Amino acid sequence: MPAVSDCINMLDSETKAVETPEDHAEELRLWLRLLTCTTLIEGEVRGRLRQRFDVTLPRFDLMAQLDKAPDGMTLSDVSKRMMVSNGNVTGLVERLVESGHLDRRTSETDRRVQVIRLTKLGRAEFRRMAAEHETWIADLFADLTPKDVRELMRLLAKTKASAQKSAARRRP
């Protein structure tokens, strides 16, 4: 154990720990900063969706996926794109079918597979929400310059690639 004098006191709003030089302090601080930013932004978007449209973020996300696929998608494809289980998607789909926002039909090539798509009502309501959502996102990032946004996008792409590479190494 290093002496206290050898430790670097790295206090940050997300990390309140004394770290030693050999720790992965910067990577941990980055991880916590990413989580904090995600939580703040997601919480704001969730709140605005709920307040303005009485819609949950998962419902909005499902409709966003289907808006990109006018011919519809299978439940399995939707769950992969949303990175959630089929069970999570099934409940959302049921409620959106009941409210008239989604249409569900059996696949023409595999009778075991259900294909879902937005109805005319669903597409119109989603596009109205999406237009406001876009302005909210712009507002949340308003203090970043276009150069900041490009640099952040570049660094996040690099971060994503690094995480994917690490995950691939861990798989058998």
In a domain, 94, yes or no: yes
The verdict on residue 158 lying in a domain is: no
Predicted confidence at residue 171, as pLDDT, reads: 84
- Together in a domain, 66 and 21: no
- Full DSSP string of 86-123: HHHHHHHHHHHHHTTSEEEEE-SS-TT-EEEEE-HHHH
pLDDT in tens, 122-154: 999 999 999 999 999 999 999 999 999 999 999
**Number of domains the chain is built from:** 2
Q: How far apart are CA 96 and CA 101, in angstroms?
A: 5
DSSP per residue over 4-30, as a string?
A: GGGSEEEE-SS-EEEE-TTS-HHHHHH
Is there a domain that residue 167 lies in? no
Q: Confirm whether 120 is domain-assigned.
A: yes
Shared domain check, 66 and 27:
no
Residues 59 and 123 reside in one and the same domain: yes
Regions of the chain short of the pLDDT cut 50: 1-12, 14-15
Range of the domain at 130: 55-140
Distances (CA, A) of 122 to 46, 99, 126, 142: 19, 9, 6, 30
Whole-model pTM: value is: 0.79
Q: Of 105, 123, 116, give the one whose Cα is nearest residue 76.
A: 116
Helix (H, G, I), strand (E, B) or coil at 73: strand
CATH code (residue 89): 1.10.10.10
For residue 141, what pLDDT is reported? 98
35 and 63 part of one domain: no
Domain membership of residue 148 (yes or no) is no
